[in-house]
Structures are given as C-alpha cells and as structure tokens.
Amino acid sequence: MSSDFYTNSIIPYSGIIIKICRAYTDSQEDFEDYYQEVCLQVWRTKDQFRGESKWSTWIYRLSLNICLTMIKKKRNNRQHTVSDYIVPEVTEDNHAFLDESLNLLYDAIKQLSEIDRAVILLYLEERPYKEIGEIIGTSHNNIAVRITRIKERLKKILN
C-alpha cells in the first residue's frame, strides 16, 4: 500500500472505519485487527471502485461488510464452545473512549443485532436514508421504520 494511497484515501476516512470497527469488537486487539483488515481490503479493492457512489460510501459499505464477515468467522470458530453461552464482556479498559456517554452508547449499540448496529451507525453518521437503504440492501421506508425502532430500543437500554 503506497503511503500516498494511505494518506489521501484512507486517513481522511479513518474516522468512519474506527466508528464501525468499534461497534463490532469487544477488545483493543480485535479492534486493531478489524481496522487493519478494512484498510487492507480498501487498498485491495480500490480498482473495483468505479466512482458510481462517493468514496466515503464505498468505505462505509466495505467496513460494514468486513466487520460482519469477521464477526461471523469468529463466531463459527468458537462454535460449540462454552464461551458462546457467556455474555461477552462489552468494554475493556483499554478499549474505552475518554467520553463516558459515548462508551455507554457504544455498549448499548453492541446489544443490537449486527444489521441494526449497521443501520444506527449509518444514521448517526447522518447518511441519507436512501444511502443507508442501498448499503443495507432494503428500501428507505423500511430504514425509517427501523431507525425509529432502534432509537427506542437504545433509549430503553441507556435509561
């Protein structure tokens, strides 16, 4: 990966990757692993980007797909082990932000289903419903209903 590509095409969008990877990981080690995997895939698939959408949308889509794939792989690897039946530790000390409210919000988001996590992350990032629908693969009406439901659930968890 050339440092130019990393500086110009990844660093300005690293916030997106960080926000998404945080929502799908429970430890700093996993977070770094997911982050690096996303960066690698962005670099690997850069030639597939045809400019039909914004580069940021491409990064959102890729980050979510990779996180969902990695979480699935991880789950398959752990199948039939006792740890499956233990509620995962949500936040480790070294995986926390300085802002306590943000930590609580992330903890709440992690209690949602994987797809709901993706929807709310995109909503909080102020992506238009149409774009969220395109990324998730559903209609924007469905997204609107879903977001209302997810927000209610988050409020309940946070309170």
Residues binding other proteins (CB under 8 A): 1, 6, 11, 14-15, 17-19, 31-33, 35-37, 39-40, 44, 97-99, 101-102, 104-105, 124, 151, 154-155, 158
Whichever of 95 and 135 has its CB closer to other proteins, that residue is 95
The minimum distance between CB 125 and other proteins, in angstroms, equals 8
| 88's tokens | 């995962």
The residue among 8 and 36 lying less far from other proteins, judged by its C-beta, is: 36
Q: Which CB sits closer to other proteins, 58 or 123?
A: 123
Cα 156 to Cα 159: distance, rounded to the nearest angstrom: 5
Q: How far is the CB of 15 from other proteins (least distance, A)?
A: 5
Distance, in Å, from the CA atom of 145 to the CA atom of 136, rounded to the nearest integer, reads: 14
Closer residue to other proteins (CB): 32 or 92: 32
SS3 content of the chain, % helix, strand, coil (to 5): 75, 0, 25
What is the sign of the dihedral through the CA atoms of 141, 61, 58 and 18? positive
